[in-house]
């Protein structure tokens, strides 16, 4: 998969995308991530990329021209128009489902906003969708872009060792992930649930599903409302939904 990031701070993006799992996937050729400096496409002597907004107001607005020319250069290099995403607090909130859909694309281009935004005309001309990482505002679009790219890339085949590394995680199935434990089996008097030590895979899978249901119900009732339960699960849940195993209460209530 190829991902192009259009930014005023390519070094910032490169430093993150060169580390850990994503960095290793780039080195193996599984991911092709290119960071482009928008300022390189300015046509004025000062390399200025912003200007005052028409109608007045606080702050500056990114000019359409350098952003458009940077995107056109990416299109020319690829040989086609990639799916173009603008990171914006006005966009639809990023979900695991949308990230998974984007991971199936051959080419993705991500635009990082700055200042008071970007000239609306370049968005109208090129951008396919706007995505937000939450209902808050940051100083620039780099951190949201890196969040999106990391979320998308880890679901590209070959980036993680096995597909189960993400299909079993919180949000992928519409539930929060079950509790995880590692050695020792007894830590400061707290025991690992016996079923996890049994080696009985069917029982372990059943326990994990039940714990995911309980955790989602307690911590994310908004998500739980959308969960489809089997008849047996619905009956079990009514009997156990008030159970509060260690690790299921919000941190401030522990």
Could you tell me which residue, 233 or 2, shows the higher pLDDT?
Answer: 2
Peptide bond into 216 cis (omega under 30): no
Look up residue 22 and give its two tokens.
Answer: 């994503």
Domain boundaries, the chain: 2-153, 168-253
Q: Is the pLDDT of residue 95 over 90?
A: yes
Residue 162, pLDDT score? 67
Residue 246, pLDDT score? 40
Query: Exposed, middle or buried, 14 (CB in 10 Å: 0-12/13-18/19+)?
Result: middle
Could you tell me which residue, 171 or 207, shows the higher pLDDT?
Answer: 207
Q: Identify the weakest region by mean pLDDT among 107-121, 213-227, 236-250.
A: 236-250
Paired strand residues for 61 = 51
Summarize pLDDT for 19-45 with one digit per residue, the tens: 999 999 999 999 999 999 999 999 998
Max intra-chain CA distance, the chain = 71
153-163 mean pLDDT: 87
The CATH number of 2-153 is which of 3.90.740.10, 3.40.1280.10, 3.30.1490.190, 3.30.499.10? 3.40.1280.10
Residue 228, pLDDT score? 87
Asked if domains 2-153 and 168-253 share a fold, the reply is no
Please state the pTM of the whole predicted model.
0.83
Residue 140, pLDDT score? 94
79-83 mean pLDDT: 98
Task: For the domain covering 168-253, report its CATH number.
Answer: 1.10.1270.20
């Amino acid at each position: 998969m190829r991902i192009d990031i259009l930014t005023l701070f390519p070094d910032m993006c490169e430093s993150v995308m060169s580390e850990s799992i994503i960095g290793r996937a780039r080195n193996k050729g599984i991911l092709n991530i290119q960071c482009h400096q928008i300022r390189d496409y300015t046509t004025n002597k000062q390399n200025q990329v912003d200007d005052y907004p028409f109608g007045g107001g606080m702050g500056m607005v990114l000019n359409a021209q350098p952003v458009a020319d940077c995107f056109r250069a990416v299109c020319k290099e690829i040989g086609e128009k990639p799916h173009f995403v603008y990171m914006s607090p006005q966009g639809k909130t990023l979900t695991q489902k949308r990230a998974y859909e984007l991971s199936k694309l051959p080419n993705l281009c991500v635009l990082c906003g700055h200042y008071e935004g970007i000239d609306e005309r370049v968005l109208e001309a090129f951008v396919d969708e706007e995505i937000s990482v939450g209902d808050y505002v940051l100083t620039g679009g780099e951190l949201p872009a890196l969040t999106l790219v990391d979320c998308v890339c880890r679901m590209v085949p070959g980036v993680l060792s096995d597909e189960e590394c993400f299909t079993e995680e919180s949000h992928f199935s519409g539930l929060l992930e079950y509790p995880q434990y590692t050695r020792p089996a007894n830590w400061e008097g707290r025991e690992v649930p016996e079923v996890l030590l049994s080696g009985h895979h069917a029982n372990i899978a059943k326990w994990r599903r039940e714990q995911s249901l309980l955790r989602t119900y307690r911590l994310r009732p908004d998500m739980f409302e959308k969960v489809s339960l089997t008849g047996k699960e619905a009956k079990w849940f009514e009997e156990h939904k008030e159970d509060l195993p260690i690790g299921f209460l919000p941190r401030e209530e522990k």
